[in-house]
Copies of this chain bind each other. A is one copy, B any other.
Amino acid sequence: MSQMQNVERQLREMILGLEIGPGERLTERWIETRFGASRTPVRAALLRLETEGLISRDGRGWMVAPINLAELGQIAVYREAVEVAAVRLTAALEDRSGIDVIAAMLDSCDAETPREEWHRVGMDFHIELARLSGNEFLLRAVRDAMTRLSRARWLEVRDEAALGRAWAEHHAILAAVRSGDAEEAARLLSAHIAGSRDRLVTSLHDDRRGLRARGFAVVAA
């Protein structure tokens, strides 16, 4: 694999894994020495990650994109539009057997499963559901939205009950799609996204002092 892809992948993982905090300043020289690559692949990685919304310009320089509560609300509206469109397409397909693969993915999580895995599966559920639609642009949009939400969701304080509720809602959505009931699937998915948004924004808003104490830039709504 090329250096360019290596730097991009590793830097993305560091940002998503909050090893570099939201709002932190980045210099091309630091990344260069940190990953043992020259500035050319580093710049390519920065340009790509900027379009993913993980990195912002800070004057002339670079910074890890801050968490922006207003933006999280807008992303929820955006993902509702594209996810609902995707699920309607999928519910109208003749072959909806892909649903079962997603259901199996959900069921691979239990009480023993580490939190990190729950997080990943929670995102992949939405991405894989969008993939079933067969529309590359809806898929890309959902993947993009999930990437932008990832760090915020990781910071969200979620209790066991919330995880279980999300799990149940995911299964209910799959059941509606499996039965071909597009309207029901759309309704359930909309409610799921709205609830997810409310819990997320509330949690981060309540926690914003603690998050800032950890050095994370959190922009209020």
- Where the two chains meet, the residues of A that have a C-beta atom closer than 8 Å to any C-beta of B are 40, 43-44, 47-48, 51, 71, 74-75, 77-78, 80-82, 84-85, 89, 135-138, 141, 145
Contact = CB atoms under 8 A, between A and B. Distances in A.
B47 A78 contact: no
Contacts of A43: 40, 43-44
6 contacts: A43-B43, A47-B47, A77-B137, A78-B138, A80-B85, A81-B81
Contacts of A138: 74, 77-78, 81
State how many copies of this chain the complex holds.
2
A74 B141 CA distance: 12
Contacts of A81: 81-82, 84-85, 138
A201 to B, nearest CB: 15
A138 B74 CA distance: 8
Given A47-B47, A81-B85, A137-B145, 10 more contacts: A43-B44, A44-B47, A47-B48, A48-B51, A71-B136, A74-B137, A78-B137, A78-B138, A80-B85, A81-B82
A172 to B, nearest CB: 22
B89 A82 contact: no
A145 B81 CA distance: 15
A91 to B, nearest CB: 14
A141 B78 CA distance: 9
A16 to B, nearest CB: 19
Nearest to A79: B137
Given A44-B43, A48-B47, A85 B74 contact: no
